[in-house]
Structures are given as C-alpha cells and as structure tokens.
Amino acid sequence: MASVEPMTVLQSTLELLRARLEAALQVAAPSGEPWVKLTNPVGQDGQVAVGARDKIVMTLVGLETDTSVTSRPPAHPTAAPFNVNISLLFIANFTDSNYPTGLDMLAHVVSFFHATPVFTRALLPGLADGIENFQLEFVNLDLAQTHRLTAMLGITYLPMALYKLRTLPFGSDAAAPRRRPPG
C-alpha cells in the first residue's frame, strides 16, 4: 500500500463519504438543502455549529491504530504506513417539529451503511492513491457510553449512530514537520 499524505487521506475520504451519503439521502428524501454536514456539532462557545441545525451532523470522534493490518515486516528499514480506524458519529440534529424528520433521516443513514458497508474506488472514484477500499461497521453503545460521548461533545442527547471506519493508511512521514516555502 502506498504512503498517503495524512491530511489529504482523512479530509478527502470523509468528504467523499459525506457526498456519497448525501446523494443517497437526496434520493430517499429529495431536498433543496443538503442533509449531511461534516462539522463539529457545537462550536467552541457551546452553541450549535453554524449550518448544523436540522442536519445529519457527521463528526469524527476518535482515531485508533488498526493493529490487525500490517504492511511490512518489523525489521524493514523504513516505517510502514500507519493504519488508522476512525470513529464517526452521525447525529440527527433536528429539534422541535423537525424531530420526526431527523429520526427518518437517521434511519436512512443506518440503512445506507447496512446496505453499503464496504466502499471501493467504484463507489468513491476520488479515493486517495493507496486506498483501495474501507468498511464501516456499526458500533453498539449502551446508555452510559452514549452519555459519556454526548458529554465529551458538549451536547445534550440527540439520536445518533456511531460507526467505525476501517482502515485508512497514513504515510510514515505523517509526523514529519512540514517545511514552509521561503519568503
């Protein structure tokens, strides 16, 4: 697997996934406005993020090393790509009279990922070089885990679904400092 620029792989993969989910939701429930927003659910001031109201908020809530994938023997002189699993949370940020719509849209999200658990270049043609595919797995949360997650995010409870995206490669140069161009 080729080394992939760290920000490119994370940002571009999540945006491609968001766009693919958006397309599926627009087929299920056509709207003149986007359904899915890749953003924090709240800003640093604790207020709902601009543009996140009445949306499915897609947000990264964790990264972890995927130790099940090895690319190179440990004795190899150069570092192997660093494989990462991403915890992605999909929050139905719909309130008041729009709450039932939020439940419906969250159900569409869960149905979409159940029907399409593996994403390949055929489904996401813009995947970064070095990524052939990845999968999304539903993560079960009990009430205590849900409470801790919402507290960590600084939100009160809203309907949500947590998924683990397996596995994205980060190049061995991910921790190397970037040089600024002279001038």
Give the tens place of pLDDT for each residue, 30-50: 999 999 999 999 988 888 887
Structure tokens at 107: 């159900």
Residue 176 falls inside a structural domain = no
Residue 178 falls inside a structural domain = no
Residue 179 falls inside a structural domain = no
Residue 118 falls inside a structural domain = yes
Residue 174 falls inside a structural domain = no
Domain carrying residue 53: 6-69+80-169
Residue 177 falls inside a structural domain = no
Section 90-114 average pLDDT: 97
Residue 167: helix, strand or coil by DSSP? strand
pLDDT at 172 over 80: no
Residue 153 belongs to what H/E stretch? helix 143-153
Our count of domains for the chain comes to 1
Tell me the pLDDT band of 175, cut-offs 50, 70 and 90.
Answer: very low
Q: What is the CATH number of the domain that holds 156?
A: 3.30.2000
Section 9-20 average pLDDT: 94
Find residue 59's DSSP bridge partners.
89
Residue 132 falls inside a structural domain = yes
Tell me the pLDDT band of 140, cut-offs 50, 70 and 90.
Answer: very high
Residue 60 belongs to what H/E stretch? strand 55-65
